[in-house]
Structure 1
């Protein structure tokens, strides 16, 4: 049973796929095959043929603090950015009742106002939320996506066996809780063959320090620091939005048609042809596709136009499609797809492209301003919200960095098989 990953915008390397492959092998492969190690996991990388700004992004305005937005971050900006990065995760941590709350309360954007760090109560978190907070801290200690994926799997194991929850219950002091948590993470990671020799001790030590520092920074941030952080976040937002728009324009202009597919659709079609052959070799096991962001629009054009319009490809079927962080619903509202029908408007949903698609799970994050729902637009779609717990800037890519997301996908695949949705 092959799995294909199709990336989205703002991706110019395959690093995210290699990280996704770690999660897919751990959570998805066992759900779809009795031979998980034999499951082919591939990607259709099209980043080299996407938007390439001829002036290197010079059209993006410079910020007041950094001037040339891409320069190394000064300490003040790093502090401000830390407040933004941690705000959503820490806002989830319920506060213990305080006899005399200090003035300030919640600052704009959900960042807690000044208070003692001991007011945070990790014991009030659900197991999944606790794991997400730990992973969010680790994301600040290490930036390699593959290493982070392996560490997230290790943390998820501690969540699933109850270790993290037990630690929180055993220690009343927040500092003791954090120390014990990262001791357990370090031990679990060191015992994991895939993480051996990766400097886990140094990594865990950095994460431990960052956890304490993050609580302090967020609690002392205040409105001024928040305003600086929001202003200095502009380069990241500009880059995400401009690259997104650029990739969209390039794709729409050069995608071609079924008779003459453009280079990006051809990349996806070639991968599908190869995986379809593997599917047949393995007795017709279902073909799974996971797309992110703009990758969703590529797949929708594939199943609604390129596959059914080409007799040589018409027998290829995607049995389960997870469209994460996609804009498929938005594109259909704008009638931007090759098979868009102007008569499909409010009150008349777009028919499910069932000839070449078995099951469609569309997932959007409430914090992700670039993800859209499709439940009121397409027939037969399974549309669901997912909470990554990440900030507005990071949420767009957060789906594929959380074990809980892959666990949910595995459940969907399993239920689809039992309901006869996969053939």
Structure 2
């Protein structure tokens, strides 16, 4: 009575690259918790006499996903406090222009930035100004440069109405930046790794004859779950979350048919929760062609697609992906956390157990017929 779980993107085990960033953002998928709930609510329906004997495993592929090659230096939240400015005479014209532009931008509203840019670079490239700086003590040079750039601003920019002094304007910008960095911090790691894992799979999944590392791991998990059956009629149940659904769809419709070791592997019941299978299939990103067989040539029984109105990363699949049956699952309504909420709710697992009982049934030693798709 095997049950196999396949997670989605942006999931890492402790010790893998990216774990700290993702754990801070979402806490990730709690596999021990998922395993416990599957054993508590699904396993008894598969083996009432010995639920602990049910093979409950997962396919972990987070270590094969994307990772930051330079520690995520692109993130604004990783930005450090600006170091003291170097002596302007130590900078060439281009470097001086960049620094002077940044200083002036921080002291002016964005509506004045076009004039600020021209003024900063004009002062930085003025040989007379550079000669003047050479006659000044180093501590006075930046003040003179700022003044030289300010003098080049358009008259409308150097207006007479009340205006925050440059120092106060810079301080206010720094305070706003610090506050917004705290807002961005958890998302700046999660979003790139989320998208990166999607691209890592799509770019590296290979072909049915030559599957990439992630499909190979999924195939190995399916073969192991199939081998854990105690008799031929025993159902194999697969639960996927998010991008895990696309991995199983491709495995059933493309990779398994070409796998010489996958003969006889059949998923009797597949629940794809929080998935994007319907969206990916309609966009043409799934394997198996635009109109694959609803039951994957006998390799799939019932396909239950679970989505939620408040899970903005989940989508309908019925009538789009072959054989899919949709259910909109009621969640808490917290948009930020509802994408993972299915996996935390006992009611979801109890509902899953009921669906499995109806569509895969208790093991009876005989092969079940394929679902009609009704």
Q: Give the equivalent residue in structure 2 for 1:7.
A: 7
- 2:239 aligns with 290
Shift of 1:418: 5.1
Conserved? CA contact 1:390–1:398, under 8 Å: no
Aligned position for 1:252:
202
Which residues in structure 2 correspond to 1:352-391 (within 5 Å)? Answer: 352-391=295-334
Deviation at 1:303, TM superposition (A): 0.4
Does the residue aligned with 1:257 lie in a helix, a strand or coil? Answer: coil
Equivalent-residue separation in structure 1 for 2:180 and 2:311 (angstroms): 16
Give 2:47's match in structure 1, choosing from 30, 33, 36. 33
**Aligned pair in 2 of structure 1 residues 372, 230: CA closer, same or farther (>3 Å)?**
farther
Which blocks of at least 5 consecutive residues in structure 2 are unaligned? 15-28, 81-177, 363-367
Per the alignment, residue 410 of structure 1 pairs with: 353
- Kindly state the Cα deviation for residue 354 of structure 1 after the two structures are TM-superposed: 4.6
Contact 2:269 2:301 in 1 (8 A): yes
CA distance in 2, matches of 1:276, 1:261: 19
Q: 1:364: Cα distance to partner?
A: 0.8
Alignment match, 1:399: 342
Q: How does 1:7-156 map to 2 (within 5 A)?
A: 7-13=7-13, 16-34=30-48, 35-62=50-77
**Distance across 2 between alignment mates of 1:421 and 1:315:** 15
Point out 4+ residue stretches in structure 1 off by more than 6 angstroms.
228-231
Which digits, 9 at most, give the CA deviation of each residue in 1:79-117, with x for residues without a partner?
Answer: xxxxxxxxxxxxxxxxxxxxxxxxxxxxxxxxxxxxxxx
CA distance in 2 between partners of 1:410 and 1:257 (Å): 34
What's the CA shift for 1:350? 7.2
Distance 1:325 1:264, change over 3 A: same
The 5 Å alignment of 1:304-383 reads: 304-341=253-290, 351-383=294-326
Shift of residue 233 of structure 1?
Answer: 4.4
Match of 2:94 in 1: none
SS in 2 for 1:359: strand
Spell out, residue by residue over 1:119-171, the C-alpha distance to the aligned partner (whole angstroms, 9 max, x if none): xxxxxxxxxxxxxxxxxxxxxxxxxxxxxxxxxxxxxxxxxxxxxxxxxxxxx
> How is 1:201-220 mapped onto 2 (pairs within 5 angstroms)?
none
**1:116 is matched with which residue?**
none
SS of equivalent residue, structure 2 residue 11: coil
Alpha carbons of structure 1 residues 303 and 238: separation in structure 2 relative to 1, 3 Å: same
Distance 1:230 1:376 in 2: 42
- Aligned equivalents of 2:193, 2:256: Cα separation in 1: 28
Counterpart contact for 1:352–1:381, Cα < 8 Å = no
Relative to structure 1, is the Cα distance of residues 408 and 256 closer, same or farther in structure 2, using a 3 angstrom cutoff? same
Contact conserved, 1:255 with 1:261, CA < 8 A, in 2?
yes
Question: Is the 1:287–1:318 Cα contact (8 Å) retained in structure 2?
Answer: yes
The structure-2 alpha-carbon separation of the partners of 1:289 and 1:317, relative to structure 1 and needing over 3 Å to count, comes to same
For the 8 Å contact 1:237–1:393, the answer to whether it is kept is: no
8 Å CA contact 1:293–1:327 kept in 2: the answer is yes
CA distance in 1, matches of 2:77, 2:192: 14
Kindly tell me the number of residue pairs found equivalent between the two proteins.
254
TM-superposed deviation, 1:390: 4.7
Cα gap change, 1:393 to 1:283, in 2 (>3 Å): same
